[in-house]
Amino acid sequence: MKTYHHGNLREALIDAAASAIVEQSAEALSLRALARSAGVSQTAPYRHFIDRNSLLAALSQRGYIELLERLRATESVIGTELKIRAAARAYVQFAVANPQLFKLMFGPLLQPTDQFPELHALVRDCNQWVQRTLAEGINSDLSRQEDLRYLTNTAWAGIHGLAILVIDMPALFERHIELDKQMDSSVRALLMCLGH
C-alpha cells in the first residue's frame, strides 16, 4: 500500500467516514478501511483519532454544526407558530437528507457525549436552542404549572419522532403521507398541547 503524508488527513478521514456511513451503519465503520480509502498506512488515522468512536464524534460534531446552522436560519421567521413550524421543518429535512448521520448524532453509540467535550458542547447548544425556541410556544399559565424543560422535551420528542419515522419508514411517506402536511399537523397539535 502506498503511504504518504496527507496535508489534512484528519478532515479527509472525516469526509471518508461521512461517505461511508451513507452506505453502512456507523457501527460497521473501520479505521483500517478508511485508511485504505485515503491511501495512507493503517496507523496514520491514529495520529488524529484515538479510536473509531473519536472519529465518529468528530463526524457527529460536523452534523451538529450543520443542524444548528439550519435551525438558526429560522430565527428571522416572525410569529411563534411559523417559527416553530420552520424549525421543525429544518430539523426533519436535515434528518431526511442525512439519515445515518442523524442516527449517529442522536443514537446510543456516542453516549454519553461528555467523553467528547467538543461534541458535548454542540449537543448542549443544540438542546438549548431547541428548548428555547419551543418554549416560545408554551402558554405562560402552563409553564407556571409544569417544569418548562419537561414540556419542551415532550414537544421535541414529537418532532424528533417524526424525523425518525420518515427515516425508518420512507415508503409510508412516499405512498401515503404528505410530509409537509404531517409536519404542519404535528406543529399545530404540539402548540395546542402547549396551550398556545
Q: State residue 146's pLDDT score.
A: 67
Helix axes 52-72, 31-38, angle to 10 degrees: 80
Q: What is the mean pLDDT of residues 105-122?
A: 94
Domains and CATH numbers, the chain: 1-49 (1.10.10), 52-193 (1.10.357.10)
Instruction: Give the residue, 99 or 136, on which the prediction is more confident.
Output: 99
Q: According to the model, what pLDDT value does residue 155 have?
A: 86
Q: Specify the residue for cell string 429544518.
A: 90
The C-alpha atoms of residue 155 and residue 161 are separated, in whole angstroms, by 10
Cα angle 105-192-182, degrees, rounded to a multiple of 5: 55
Residue 173 CA, distance from chain mean position? 20
Are 119 and 106 in contact by the 8 Å Cβ rule? The answer is no
In this prediction, residue 34 carries a pLDDT of 92
pLDDT of 93:
96
63-to-50, 66, 109, 156, 192 alpha-carbon distances in Å: 20, 5, 15, 18, 31
pTM of structure: 0.89
Hey, which of 4-8, 13-17, 67-71, 167-171 has the most confident mean pLDDT? 67-71
Cβ distance 142 to 194 under 8 Å?
yes
**Max mean pLDDT range (80-89, 98-107, 130-139, 182-191):** 98-107
Q: Does residue 191 surpass a pLDDT of 90?
A: no
Q: Any idea how long the chain is?
A: 196
Give mean pLDDT, residues 18-36. Answer: 92
Confidence of residue 3 (pLDDT cuts 50, 70, 90): very low
Return the percentage of the chain with pLDDT > 70, whole number: 92
Q: What's the pLDDT at 145?
A: 62
pLDDT surpasses 80 at 175: yes
